């Protein structure tokens, strides 16, 4: 027995040791591309792409859900560590060490924050420096949600320059380019290596009060990575200074303007800028791409595992609400309140609660969202049974448990199935948001499409999700008709 236990422990240790390096990335084009570069260089590694904003990716790193990800020195100093004044790598490493993290491998380029306007609009208003905007209080801002909330973003910039402008509504970074080009907004925040700056003929406004720090691209990693993955770490270290600003802009342009995938854009690092340009993305080629079945499997797992858990918990809760009227208000009120929580907020809360990203918090969130229709319909189905039917069951001398099992639940079953069908269809749509915390599924394409502002990529994720919702609804309706026919046959 002891030998078997030792062998089992050894096998577990070997399996754990064989775990690949986990590379994360944020939800914008450059981070996706850098993540692909890191995975290719590391060899035995997996990419968890598009995990969201800085807070979510950093939380994933702290929890050990990822081992490293590409970050920027200014973001680490101002947003993560909340440092004031000047900083260098030595200071960043001193501050990160108590967290079990460090920074290394300067990739070779600076991708800073800046504000930009259309060239003709900036020329007409005479805007060249950020302080020039003070003379134009009527300009319309279109700032990304993350920039609005960051410590090194809009709040600090507004204070330093004394701007009188309101914050305005947040815009997705990719969509803001379309808005500024159409003249719907005047000023947007940009990353200085964005490929669309030149395409849309934008003027990068000079930061004359030097508010923004340098944002040198670098690896933010867990301190045990060099020990756990020595070969991969040596390969990644070889990237030191290997990506200059011009090459990074070229790779961003390949993804955003030329229709290449993130992996194809990352391959330009070795292929060189002379690689032939790709045409527009083909819809059917993108829809049935090599990742289609993987994403389908992940989406089905998210939907049906969470639905099964919701049925197992929701039906008993609905029965309890029907049988104990005093508890009904609390049960129905609780599941109703859960349904009102914004999905991303619930995902973020669950990441902190379970200490990881990916499938586990996604399943928990979908389980909670699926409860309301099942609980309400179970409660309604049982309370809607007529008094005469209840009295007939009591006259047969059935115990309360038997009345519930043999009479009440079967009579309430059509209502219960309708609630399960509603939850299943809702889960198919809500599961797309799980991609923002690394759980995969069709939402992975939707997130990529938003980052690229590319309708083909976005639709290649949205259409399969919509088709799956229709298939699920149709399957439940067929089941309901079959159940109704069998119930009628039994009665006759």
Reported as a single tens digit per residue, the pLDDT across 298-336 is 999 999 999 999 999 999 999 999 989 889 999 999 999
The residues of the chain that CATH labels 1.10.3720.10 are 292-491
CATH of domain 19-110+215-279: 3.40.190.10
The CA-based dihedral angle spanning residues 434, 435, 440, 443, taken in that order and rounded to the nearest 10 degrees: 100
Residue 440 CA to residue 362 CA, distance in Å, equals 10
pLDDT band at residue 406, thresholds of 50, 70 and 90?
Answer: confident
Whole-angstrom distance, CA of residue 193 vs CA of residue 212: 15
Residue 127 has pLDDT above 60, yes or no: yes
Q: Residue 12: pLDDT band by 50, 70, 90 thresholds?
A: very low
Q: Please give the pLDDT value at position 277.
A: 55
Closest alpha carbon to 101 in 119, 118, 89: 89
Q: Which CATH number fits domain 292-491: 1.10.1370.30, 1.10.30.50, 3.20.20.140, 1.10.3720.10?
A: 1.10.3720.10
492 has pLDDT over 60: no
More confident of the two residues 243 and 271:
243
Q: Which of 109-113, 241-245, 399-403 has the lowest mean pLDDT?
A: 399-403
Q: 97: number of CA atoms within 13 Å, CB side?
A: 7
pLDDT at 411: 85
The segment(s) of the chain belonging to CATH 3.40.190.10 are 19-110+215-279
Phi-psi region of 397 (alpha: psi -120 to 50; beta: other; left: phi over 0): left
Give this prediction's pTM: 0.79
What confidence tier does 391 reach under pLDDT thresholds 50, 70, 90? low
Q: What percent of the chain has pLDDT over 70?
A: 89
Q: How many helices and strands, by DSSP H and E, does the chain display?
A: 24, 9
Condensed to tens digits (0 to 9), the pLDDT of residues 260-302 reads: 889 999 999 987 555 555 556 678 888 888 889 999 999 999 9
Higher per-residue pLDDT: 443 or 490: 443
Q: What is the pLDDT of residue 280?
A: 61
Cβ neighbours of residue 176 closer than 8 Å, sequence gap 6 or more: 142, 143, 144, 185, 188, 189
Q: What is the pLDDT at residue 140?
A: 92
C-alpha–C-alpha distance, residues 329 and 392, integer Å: 28
**Percent of the chain scored above 90 by pLDDT?**
58
CATH T-level fold of 113-204: D-Maltodextrin-Binding Protein; domain 2 (3.40.190)
């Amino acid at each position: 027995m002891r030998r078997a236990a030792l062998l089992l422990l050894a096998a577990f240790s070997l399996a754990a040791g064989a775990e690949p390096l986990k590379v994360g990335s944020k939800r914008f084009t450059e981070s996706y591309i850098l993540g692909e570069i890191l995975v290719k260089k590391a060899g035995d590694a997996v990419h968890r792409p598009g995990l969201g904003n800085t807070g979510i990716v950093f939380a994933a790193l702290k929890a050990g859900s990822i081992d490293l990800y590409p970050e920027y020195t200014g973001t680490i100093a101002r947003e993560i560590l909340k440092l004031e004044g000047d900083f260098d790598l030595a200071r960043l490493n001193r501050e990160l060490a108590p967290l079990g993290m460090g920074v290394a491998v300067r990739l070779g380029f600076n991708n800073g924050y800046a504000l930009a306007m259309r060239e003709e609009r900036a020329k007409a208003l005479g805007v060249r420096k950020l302080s020039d905007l003070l003379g134009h209080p009527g300009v319309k801002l279109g700032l990304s949600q993350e920039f609005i909330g960051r410590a090194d973003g809009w709040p600090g910039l507004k204070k330093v320059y004394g701007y009188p402008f309101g914050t305005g509504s947040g815009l997705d970074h990719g969509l803001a380019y379309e808005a500024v080009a159409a003249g719907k907004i005047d000023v947007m925040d940009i990353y200085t290596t964005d490929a669309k700056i030149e395409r849309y003929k934008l003027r990068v406004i000079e930061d004359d009060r030097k508010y923004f720090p340098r944002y040198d691209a670098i690896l933010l990693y867990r301190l045990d990575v060099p020990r756990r993955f020595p070969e991969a770490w040596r390969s990644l270290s070889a990237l030191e200074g290997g990506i200059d600003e011009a090459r990074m802009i070229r790779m961003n342009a390949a993804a955003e303007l030329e229709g290449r995938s993130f992996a194809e854009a990352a391959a330009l690092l070795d292929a060189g800028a002379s690689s032939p340009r790709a045409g527009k993305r083909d819809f059917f080629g993108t829809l049935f791409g090599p990742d289609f079945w993987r994403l389908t499997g992940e989406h089905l797992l998210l939907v049906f595992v969470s639905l099964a858990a919701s049925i197992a918990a929701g039906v008993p809760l609905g029965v309890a609400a029907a049988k104990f009227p005093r508890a009904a208000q609390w049960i129905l009120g609780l599941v109703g309140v859960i349904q009102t929580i914004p999905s991303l907020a619930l995902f973020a809360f669950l990441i902190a609660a379970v200490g990881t990203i990916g499938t586990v918090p996604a399943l928990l969130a979908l389980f909670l969202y699926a409860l309301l229709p099942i609980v309400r319909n179970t409660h309604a189905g049982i309370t809607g049974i007529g008094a005469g039917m209840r009295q007939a069951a009591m006259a047969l001398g059935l115990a309360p448990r038997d009345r519930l099992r043999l009479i009440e639940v079967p009579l309430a079953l059509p209502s219960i199935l309708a609630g399960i069908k509603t939850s299943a269809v809702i889960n198919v749509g809500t599961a797309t948001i799980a991609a923002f915390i690394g759980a995969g599924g069709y939402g992975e394409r939707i997130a990529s499409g938003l980052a690229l502002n590319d309708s083909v990529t976005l639709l290649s994720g949205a259409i399969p999700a919509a088709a799956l919702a229709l298939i699920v609804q149709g399957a439940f309706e067929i089941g309901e008709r079959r159940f109704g026919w069998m119930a009628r046959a039994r009665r006759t």
